Amino acid sequence: MVLSRSFAQLARKSGQAKASILVAKEPLDSPPLEIHTLGHNELRKSAQRVSKVDESVREVARDMLRSMYTAKGIGLAAPQVGIQKKLLVIDIDHETPSTPPIVLINPEIITFGATVETYEEGCLSIPGVYLDVIRPSTVKISFRDEMGRPRKMNADGLLGRVIQHELDHLNGVLFVDRVTDKEGLTKELDDHGFNKDDVSPVMS
């Protein structure tokens, strides 16, 4: 996921969970992982649970973070880089070197909030395209952290939206699948060289 104009206004108000995985928040000339774009089959597969959280999983998370920072994103799911595992990395404060990212392993949504909000979203897998998406304003999730410890988290604002956006990737769903403005969607995709036939609409 990428930081849109409306998201930037929310970033300062969103909380961050602590994580022990830190990498330099600087772009690399050659990021370790390729981020697939709309139309690639890897983006439509369902990810598998991580059976064991070990150093190899943590190293994948670090490579995902390095690739995410290089692409100037705030969230990245493993399927976006061709790894079909339930693994997400998020950093909504990517401009502050000391702020740790969040690593979510085998995340699941426990409950959604009763209210919904509309905000503009973008995605590293659909560069340049920004469109409004309706999502629940809050979520409660369960997951394992980078050390394999079971956790639960309540998230709202920017963080809650990014979590929902990235969790969709684990089920082969992209944010454009949830866009209700079909005319605007077609125009944005056409303007940025994407095929609207690669969108798979779902209920928001």
Which pairs count as long-range contacts for 7-10, CB under 8 Å and 24+ apart, including other chains?
7/74, 7/92, 7/119, 7/120, 7/121, 7/158, 7/161, 10/119, 10/157, 10/158
Q: Name which of 65, 74, 72, 75 is nearest 33 in CA terms.
A: 65
Q: How many CA atoms within 13 Å lie on the side-chain side of 76?
A: 29
- Burial category of 79 from C-beta neighbours within 10 Å (exposed 0-12, middle 13-18, buried 19 and up): buried
Q: Active site includes 42?
A: no
| Active-site residue, from 55, 95, 120, 166 | 166
Q: Name which of 143, 188, 149 is nearest 163 in CA terms.
A: 143
Strand (E) or helix (H) holding 8: helix 5-11
The residues annotated as belonging to the active site are 166
